[in-house]
């Protein structure tokens, strides 16, 4: 008997659907645009059609499908299987996505979980979290998010909102974050923050980067490679701020491994030393010694983690 699992990774711009084995091998997958503005029915139909198409292309029957897992931006109610009102999926409101899929795939376990938790699960089970007791995944891209595995179990929290690490406060009188708070990790270490800080500083400081307010995070890393002084300093600060955020995570979770993923992690080599230097200056030696900070391995952790949801949680 065949055993395959379906992962559905819902993002603000794209949905990724794939068929995955229990070992985390993606047999087939496809991406299509979310277009949440066309309403949830449109997207849910696309998901159903995609599942059917992928099954057919790989010569599977619906009976071979042992579970469907969905990762979605939150807030959501994972127990009831409802996406409440994710700001990246406007104008969806209280979308009962699990019930909708249940209508078609009646006897198959279907689970919903927030996207960062799902990606954490994927990296934990199939990436660099394997064989860890305590594992943390942090994604640094537009925002800063992630998830934690505490004693072999994915941390969910009382209403699926655990590990909002991007909004932990590291500098209480500091920069204002998109969330309205001051001094969030995300206001310093996200890709958005890197761009914002670069545009602010470029106005007054010597740099080869644009002075027109249109610098993006990638530019900062590119110019740092060309030894632009300002770009280099911003990249160094990225290591420092992320280092402080990681220190707090180490202090609380005492993990074996923290894996860094997300777009900004592509440049991790450029600020890894500064993360370590920042941590070296700080206390809690026993916890720091126990923890390795490494680059996440699985770019597809959102998809494979979603597939794993159905048998793992």
Region near a second copy per CB under 8 A, out of 94-102, 198-206, 248-256, 295-303: 248-256
Region near a second copy per CB under 8 A, out of 9-17, 62-70, 89-97, 173-181: 173-181
Residue 227 in contact with a second copy, rule: CB under 8 A:
no
Query: 118-137: which residues touch a second copy (CB under 8 A)?
Result: 133-134
Residue 100 in contact with a second copy, rule: CB under 8 A:
no
Residue 290 in contact with a second copy, rule: CB under 8 A:
yes
Region near a second copy per CB under 8 A, out of 42-50, 163-171, 223-231, 301-309: 163-171
209 vs 309 by CB, closer to a second copy: 309
Residue 205 in contact with a second copy, rule: CB under 8 A:
no
242: helix, strand or coil: helix
Element (H, E) at 4: strand 4-10
Cβ atoms of 166 and 186 within 8 Å: the answer is yes
Residue 75 in contact with a second copy, rule: CB under 8 A:
yes
Residue 72 in contact with a second copy, rule: CB under 8 A:
no
Residue 164 in contact with a second copy, rule: CB under 8 A:
yes
Return the residue of 23, 173, 206, 269 that touches a second copy, per CB under 8 A: 173
Return the residue of 68, 121, 215, 244 that touches a second copy, per CB under 8 A: 244
**CA–CA separation, 226 and 70 (whole Å):** 42
Query: 180-199: which residues touch a second copy (CB under 8 A)?
Result: 180-181, 183
Residue 94 in contact with a second copy, rule: CB under 8 A:
no
Q: Which two tokens stand for residue 252?
A: 């609380």
Burial class (CB in 10 A: 0-12, 13-18, 19+), 144: buried
Residues in the chain: 313
Q: How far apart are the first and last CA of the chain?
A: 23
Reference 72, options 18, 111, 105; nearest CA is: 111
Burial class (CB in 10 A: 0-12, 13-18, 19+), 91: exposed
Residue 246 in contact with a second copy, rule: CB under 8 A:
no
Listed in sequence order, the residues at least 6 apart from 26 whose beta carbon sits closer than 8 Å to its beta carbon are: 18, 19, 20, 300, 303, 304
Q: Could you tell me the CA-to-CA distances from 176 to 16, 29, 48, 172, 238 in Å, in that order?
A: 33, 39, 41, 10, 17
Return the residue of 46, 160, 210, 276 that touches a second copy, per CB under 8 A: 160
55 vs 288 by CB, closer to a second copy: 288
Neighbours of 100 (CB within 10 A): 17
Residue 30 in contact with a second copy, rule: CB under 8 A:
no
Neighbours of 152 (CB within 10 A): 10
195: helix, strand or coil: helix
Binders of a second copy: how many residues, by CB under 8 A? 48
101 vs 288 by CB, closer to a second copy: 288
Neighbours of 212 (CB within 10 A): 9
**Least distance between a second copy and beta carbon 119 (Å):** 17
Residue 17 in contact with a second copy, rule: CB under 8 A:
no
**Least distance between a second copy and beta carbon 234 (Å):** 17
Q: List interacting residues with a second copy (CB under 8 A).
A: 75, 133-134, 148, 150-151, 153, 155-165, 167-174, 177, 179-181, 183, 244, 247-249, 251-256, 282-284, 286-287, 290-291
């Amino acid at each position: 008997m065949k055993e395959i699992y379906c992962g559905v990774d819902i993002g603000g711009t794209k949905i990724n659907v794939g068929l995955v084995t229990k070992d985390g091998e993606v047999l087939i997958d496809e991406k299509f645009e979310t277009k949440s503005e066309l309403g949830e029915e449109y997207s849910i139909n696309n998901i159903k059609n995609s599942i059917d198409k992928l099954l057919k292309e790989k010569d599977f029957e619906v009976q071979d499908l042992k579970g469907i897992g969905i990762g979605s931006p939150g807030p959501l109610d994972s127990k009831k299987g409802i996406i409440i009102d994710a700001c990246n999926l406007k104008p969806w409101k209280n979308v009962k996505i699990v019930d909708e899929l249940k209508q078609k795939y009646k006897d198959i376990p279907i689970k919903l979980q927030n996207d960062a938790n799902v990606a954490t699960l994927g990296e934990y089970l199939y990436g660099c979290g394997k064989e860890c007791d305590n594992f943390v995944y942090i994604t640094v891209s537009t925002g800063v998010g992630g998830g934690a595995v505490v004693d072999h179990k994915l941390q969910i929290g009382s209403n699926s909102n655990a590990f909002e690490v991007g909004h932990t406060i590291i500098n209480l009188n500091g920069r204002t974050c998109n969330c309205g708070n001051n001094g969030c990790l995300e206001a310093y270490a996200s890709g958005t923050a890197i761009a914002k800080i670069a545009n602010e500083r470029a106005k007054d400081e010597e740099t080869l980067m644009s002075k027109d307010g249109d610098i993006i995070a990638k530019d900062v890393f590119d110019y740092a490679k060309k030894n632009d002084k300002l770009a280099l300093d911003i990249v160094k600060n990225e290591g420092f701020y992320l280092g402080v955020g990681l220190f707090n995570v180490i202090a609380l979770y005492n993990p074996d491994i923290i894996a860094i993923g997300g777009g900004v992690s592509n440049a991790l080599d450029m600020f890894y030393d500064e993360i370590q230097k920042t941590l070296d200056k700080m206390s809690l030696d026993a916890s720091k010694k126990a923890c390795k900070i490494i680059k996440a391995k699985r770019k597809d952790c959102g998809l494979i983690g979603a597939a794993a949801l159905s048998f793992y949680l």
